[in-house]
């Protein structure tokens, strides 16, 4: 027969629970460090979600933070016009004042000098589409804000490879444009997407010490935005196929390349999850009459995914799970879905006055303003890399 608990016993139990909770909080990032440590690369299976550790990095809330942004757009030398919302007239700035708070741990604040010291003499390379370029430019801005004013730098712009160097530290931060990761060849004037071949692109990635990949958006494009004329799979040409099947075949080609060519004892591999878009306001506002993210100024506060969770994520997770080489999934999908306010919308240097006047047809609700959301991606990248 259970005995009733006295008031003293209840207090004692509460105190013990509080102590245990505090102890757990203090070791969350230590556990993450052990889980991601360089020395365990050859022993562990790939991380599919950081919340397999006790620190749920990608589950949490956006909170107002007056210490943000981490840099000013006018002080960064590399922001493309399509991401430079403040320069191109965005009237509000509250979207700059949010930081990500994981549900059960503190996220380390990004430290640009610490990043350079730990990466001294090494290369970080982002590989993928314009969302990868968004993150690449963000990281450069975040580091730039921390280095001494006269510290020499060098930028080498090219296609597909661009590199920004922090010369005093021997650190190179590169972006390699490969929207599908796999190769595209020109055959008799036609663009052929090689779902089974990545050898040409892969040659450019071999020397990097940290590789961060992304793909996704280009696999869904049709019409004038489609980046290929036919697909080659197994030696046969296809005018089209189920895009999820094509994505999986291309990603498995990428995964085989990583397993065959990456030495996990010296090279870290990250994969940025699918970056969400906000073209359908009915996903977060049932009575919305608009057709874009234009005019959105605050994040969503939600514990459920607004709209339809990307089917592409199932493909990404399945491929990463089957890899032999550890690949850290930078799972930014849910936390980014909450940031309907963080897109360039019509505040992009590439838009004409006529386009700005018609946001339902011209607003960019795919990319992200800088400063802005990709800075949080890089704070999480920094955490996964070093903690």
- Write the pLDDT tens digit of every residue in 141-157: 999 999 999 999 999 99
Q: What share of the chain is helix, strand, coil (3-state, %, to 5)?
A: 35, 15, 50
The CA angle 103-310-316, to the nearest 5 degrees, is: 85
pLDDT for 125-142, tens place per residue?
A: 999 999 999 999 999 999
Q: What are phi and psi of 165, to 5 degrees?
A: -115, 135
Collapsing DSSP states into helix, strand and coil, what is residue 270? strand
Element (H, E) at 61: strand 60-64
What pTM does this model have?
A: 0.87
Whether residue 298 lies inside any domain: the answer is: yes
Percent of the residues in the chain that have a pLDDT greater than 70, as a whole number: 86
Does residue 27 belong to any structural domain of this protein? Answer: no
What confidence score (pLDDT) does residue 29 get? Answer: 45
182 versus 26: which is more confidently predicted? Answer: 182
Active site positions, annotated? 130, 364, 367
| pLDDT digit string, tens, across residues 86-108 | 999 999 999 999 999 999 999 99
Q: Phi and psi dihedrals of 320, rounded to 5?
A: -60, -35
Tokens (6 digits) for 241: 């196929």
pLDDT, residue 288, reads 77
Check residue 41 and give its pLDDT. Answer: 35
14 has a pLDDT exceeding 50: no
> Total structural domains in the chain?
1
DSSP state of 54: S
Whether 29 maps to a domain, the answer reads: no
Q: How far apart are CA 21 and CA 34, in angstroms?
A: 20
**Residue range(s) defining the domain that contains residue 66:** 47-386
Model pLDDT, residue 285: 86
- Does the pLDDT of residue 54 top 80, yes or no? no
Sequence-distant (≥ 6) Cβ neighbours of residue 17 within 8 angstroms: none
Element at 313 (helix H, strand E): helix 312-322
Decide if 40 is inside a domain: no
Residue 5 placed within a domain: no
Instruction: Count CA atoms within 13 Å of residue 35 on its CB side.
Output: 22
9 inside domain: no
Q: Which residues contact 380 (CB under 8 A, 6 or more apart)?
A: 57, 58, 100, 107, 330, 332
Q: Is residue 181 part of a domain?
A: yes
Averaged over 284-307, what is the pLDDT? 90
Mean pLDDT score, 193-221: 97
- Span 343-372, pLDDT tens digits: 999 999 989 999 999 999 999 999 999 999
């Amino acid at each position: 027969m259970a005995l009733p608990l006295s008031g003293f016993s209840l207090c004692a139990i509460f105190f013990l629970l509080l102590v245990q909770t505090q102890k757990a909080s203090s070791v969350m990032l230590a556990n993450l460090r052990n889980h991601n440590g360089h020395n365990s690369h050859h022993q562990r299976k790939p991380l599919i979600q950081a919340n397999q550790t006790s620190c749920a990095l990608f589950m949490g809330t956006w909170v107002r933070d007056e210490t943000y942004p981490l840099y000013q757009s006018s002080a960064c030398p590399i922001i493309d016009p399509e991401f430079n919302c403040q320069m191109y007239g965005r009237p509000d700035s509250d979207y700059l004042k949010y930081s990500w708070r994981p549900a059960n741990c503190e996220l380390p604040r990004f430290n640009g000098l610490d990043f350079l010291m730990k990466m001294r003499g090494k290369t970080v390379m982002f590989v993928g589409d314009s969302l990868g370029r968004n993150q690449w430019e963000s990281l450069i801005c975040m580091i730039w804000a921390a280095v001494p004013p006269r510290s020499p730098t060098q930028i080498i712009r090219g296609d597909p490879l661009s590199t920004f160097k922090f010369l005093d530290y021997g650190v190179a931060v590169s972006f390699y444009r490969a929207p599908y990761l796999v190769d595209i060849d020109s055959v008799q004037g036609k663009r052929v997407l090689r779902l089974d071949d990545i050898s040409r692109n892969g040659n450019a990635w071999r020397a990097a010490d940290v590789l961060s990949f992304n793909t996704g958006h280009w696999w869904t494009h049709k019409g004038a935005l489609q980046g290929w004329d036919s697909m080659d799979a197994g030696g046969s040409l296809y005018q089209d196929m189920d895009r999820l099947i094509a994505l999986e075949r291309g990603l498995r080609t990428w995964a085989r390349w990583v397993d065959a060519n990456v030495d996990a004892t010296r090279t870290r591999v990250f994969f940025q999850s699918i970056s969400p878009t906000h073209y359908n306001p009915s996903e977060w506002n049932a009575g919305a009459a608009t057709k874009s993210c234009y005019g959105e100024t605050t994040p969503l506060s939600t514990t459920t995914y607004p709209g339809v969770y990307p089917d592409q994520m199932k493909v990404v997770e399945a491929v990463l799970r089957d890899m032999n080489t550890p690949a850290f999934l930078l799972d930014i999908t849910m936390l980014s879905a909450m940031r309907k306010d963080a897109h360039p919308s019509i505040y992009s240097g590439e838009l004409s006055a006529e386009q700005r006047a018609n946001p339902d047809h011209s607003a960019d609700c795919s990319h992200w303003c800088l400063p802005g959301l990709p800075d949080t991606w890089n704070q999480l990248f920094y955490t996964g890399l070093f903690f």
